[in-house]
A and B are shown apart, each in its own frame.
Chain A
């Protein structure tokens, strides 16, 4: 895949079979899927696996997805869902994804958006307590 002219490649994330992608747009926005085949220059065939990510097998425009660093290695083109699921479980793809800073940020953002008024109050109190500890310590050192 890589024609190494230089020591380092300019691009590192490629649209290839096995590439894990994040869907940006549409009803499934925010979910991840795997590229299992390429249709043309603008479209790819993706699949969840459905039981793991909730994405069904579908053709999607490349503009609607964001490539991640994760690739499901040695995935044959147009693999069945059974094989895809097998590859995912063997390579711990979901765990690799959730360990990334990207995934953690998305999760934190969603959690913050869902805080209730009472939760927001408790967070505010906790922040105040934390800053008090810090400022007290700082005053001690000064």
Chain B
């Protein structure tokens, strides 16, 4: 007997049918070889049946009548590369479990590297809103990237602080007007932006509450004032923060 695995489905079924129906009598199963069997097995019979006995014909695509269109008046001399469509929108970074409102973070990069600051909340862009407090270490309300911060186990209570008015738009840089003439281009354009009174007031409002909380823990104020650094023999990967 040929093994069931090489026979086509239909051949097996018909073979079995005959086998089942006839009780004890043994019958040879239908032949797995032959033009008919291979036609069925290849799936071409199934295609014919689906298409009503005829072979399916590919749909004709209507050709664009190019002769009717006029050549454009202008086209670039060289092929301009077209950039790909970017549909990937970066998601807001997941906040580490170790970072909760009030956590003391160590900043690792930027102007205030090494400073210990208090975390307030995560903004829509994924950046973290932190504050020094300004009176302690000179760090204002600022956005930082989670990747450049170490979360320590120390915490300061930030309960009751309203951070709803702070978002990415609050921190957006004002668009500077581009100077067109040649003189202006080389002139010292850096005009020191005076910090608005609003910003200073916001800083004060947030910081007074934090300062009260800092007072309650001994050594917290000098701790936030001090900068973090590694000394000889200290390995950050082996240290507990």
Contacts and interface: CB of A to CB of B under 8 A. Distances in A.
Q: Do A and B bind each other?
A: yes
Interface of A: 113-118, 121-122, 125
A31 B226 CA distance: 38
For the complex, would chain A's binding face be called helix, strand, loop or mixed by DSSP majority? helix
A3 B39 CA distance: 94
Nearest to A122: B219
Interface size class of B (residues with CB under 8 A): 10 to 19
Contacts, number: 32
Contact of A116 (B154, B219, B222): B154
Contact of A114 (B104, B152, B240): B240
Contacts of B223: 118, 121-122
B238 interface: yes
20 contacts: A114-B240, A115-B240, A116-B152, A116-B153, A116-B154, A116-B241, A117-B104, A117-B152, A117-B153, A117-B228, A117-B239, A117-B240, A117-B241, A118-B104, A118-B153, A118-B154, A118-B223, A122-B219, A125-B219, A125-B222
Interface core residue of A113, A114, A116, A121 (most chain B CB under 10 Å): A121
Interface core residue of A115, A117, A125 (most chain B CB under 10 Å): A117
Interface string B199-228: 000000000000000000001001100101
A117 B106 contact: yes
B152 A118 contact: yes
